[in-house]
């Protein structure tokens, strides 16, 4: 897979996250949903590789731990297809979380009360 193909997975994950985050304000939920798609997709592909290589083509021969068998994660592309969307969406969610906490810290109740008192006619 090309370098651009790896970035496409991260870009699609961030786009899905942005749709959810902008519409609901829940950036962590967007990260979880976007990551769940790519992690599930790669795990399913790993299961198929395990069945083909070790289970004689029969799903019934596959143990529950087959997806975690290191022998079916042979290339860095396969690991990057899981890791890059996770890292990208978690970075975006973390950034938006920090921005939200800064807004909460800078908006103190006494500031708004003082501002409302100054706005009143005496």
Contact 14, 89 (CB under 8 A): yes
What are the tens digits of pLDDT across the range 20-65? 999 999 999 999 999 999 999 999 999 999 999 999 999 999 999 9
How far is Cα 27 from Cα 118, in angstroms, rounded to an integer? 37
Q: Which of 49, 47, 42 is nearest to 67 (CA)?
A: 47
| DSSP for residue 55 | S
What residues contact 81, with CB distance under 8 A and at least 6 apart?
Answer: 1, 6, 9, 38, 41, 42
Q: Is the pTM here over 0.85, yes or no?
A: no
């Amino acid at each position: 897979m090309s370098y651009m193909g790896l970035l496409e997975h991260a870009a699609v994950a961030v786009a899905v996250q942005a749709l959810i985050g902008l519409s609901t304000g829940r950036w962590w939920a967007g990260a979880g949903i976007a990551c769940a798609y790519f992690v599930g997709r790669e795990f399913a592909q790993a299961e198929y590789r395990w069945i083909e290589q070790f289970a004689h083509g029969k799903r019934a021969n596959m143990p529950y731990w087959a997806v975690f068998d290191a022998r079916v994660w042979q290339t860095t592309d396969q690991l990057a297809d899981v890791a890059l969307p996770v890292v990208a969406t978690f970075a975006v969610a973390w950034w938006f979380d920090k921005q939200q906490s800064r807004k909460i810290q800078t908006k103190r109740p006494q500031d708004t009360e003082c501002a409302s008192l100054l706005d009143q006619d005496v």
